[in-house]
Amino acid sequence: MLYIIGLGLGNEKDITLRGLEAVKNCSKVYIESYTSLLSFGLSSDGLSTLEKLYGKPVTLADRETVEEKADAILEEAQKSDVAFLVVGDPFGATTHTDLVVRAKKLGVDVKVVHNASVMNAVGVCGLQLYRYGETVSIPFFTETWRPSSFYEKIQRNRALGLHTLCLLDIRVKEPTLESLCRGRKKYEPPRYMTIGTAIEQLLEVEQMRGESAYNEETLCAGFARLGSEDQMVVAGSMKQLLTIDFGAPLHCLVIVGDTHPVEEEMLGFYTLGGGN
């Protein structure tokens, strides 16, 4: 059996009772380490925190392990129970759907244990979840690569009056271009996009496109460390949010669409100069 278990967003205690029971019954435990992270990180200290709770070793599964060596994990799951832990909810990233498809093709039974994810935790700001349009990802720009495919999706959402959740880039154990050219992998230091960087890139794309999908006065909500004890939620214009230090990762951003009075009242508690 392959168990794919959501860990929630905060710390080691956010795993569900059903998820914890499954982990304790598994012979091997992996934790995916590149689509998100828990509040205490996944350093050796962070892993030992999990191992103490679970009573067994936890193996870090980076992007290469999951995307290139998944067959080894699935072979283990053919012989014994294996847990694959995911920060947030198991289906918050397409990689995990691919793992389920591959498991089923090999005849491996799969059980999923769900948990909270960024997709529903953003509801804390008061914007109603059913009034969100398509979610977009904002990648880090480079000198030679400045993709803007997210712009049309934001434009469509705003034309319909819908809110847009922007997931911000995480780069963990990414090989450098130079090392790929030389055939020997050397990795970049981890990088986590901030709300400030995301807004700067969004405004750069708007300036380039000039189609008025949004501007520096557009109302947004910025979130940092959702689900943690020190989570931070601030609403304001893009221009205002550029002045806010949201602190440690992870960050995400919502571009606000048309709002209902109830949404406005709740969002007001987080708005700069508002009710908080």
Are the CB atoms for 40 and 11 separated by under 8 Å? yes
| pLDDT, tens digit (0-9, with 9 covering 90-100), for 175-190 | 556 655 666 676 677 8
- CATH number at 11 reads 3.40.1010.10
Ligand-binding site membership of 260 (annotated): no
Neighbour-count burial of 183, counting CB atoms closer than 10 A to its CB (0-12 exposed, 13-18 middle, 19+ buried): exposed
Same domain, 246 and 160: yes
Residue 30 lies in a domain: yes
Q: Please determine, for residue 276, whether its predicted confidence score (pLDDT) is greater than 50.
A: no
- Give the closest residue to 58 by CA, choosing from 44, 69, 39: 44
Average pLDDT, the chain: 90
Q: What is the pTM of this model?
A: 0.90
| pLDDT, tens digit (0-9, with 9 covering 90-100), for 181-219 | 666 676 677 889 999 999 999 999 999 999 999 999 999
Ligand-binding site membership of 92 (annotated): yes
Provide the pLDDT confidence category of residue 48 given band limits of 50, 70 and 90: confident
Residue 274 lies in a domain: no
Provide the pLDDT confidence category of residue 43 given band limits of 50, 70 and 90: low
Q: By residue range, what is the domain housing residue 147?
A: 119-269
Same domain, 40 and 144: no
Last residue of a domain, one of 116, 138, 157: 116
Ligand-binding site membership of 212 (annotated): no
Angle between helices 44-54 and 17-25 (to 10 degrees): 90
Ligand-binding site membership of 222 (annotated): no
Ligand-binding site membership of 88 (annotated): no
| pLDDT, tens digit (0-9, with 9 covering 90-100), for 135-162 | 999 999 999 999 999 999 999 999 999 9
Provide the pLDDT confidence category of residue 44 given band limits of 50, 70 and 90: low
| pLDDT, tens digit (0-9, with 9 covering 90-100), for 79-127 | 999 999 999 999 887 778 888 999 999 999 999 999 999 999 999 999 9
The pLDDT, as a whole number, for residue 193 is 96
Provide the pLDDT confidence category of residue 239 given band limits of 50, 70 and 90: very high
- CATH number at 235 reads 3.30.950.10
Residue 275 lies in a domain: no
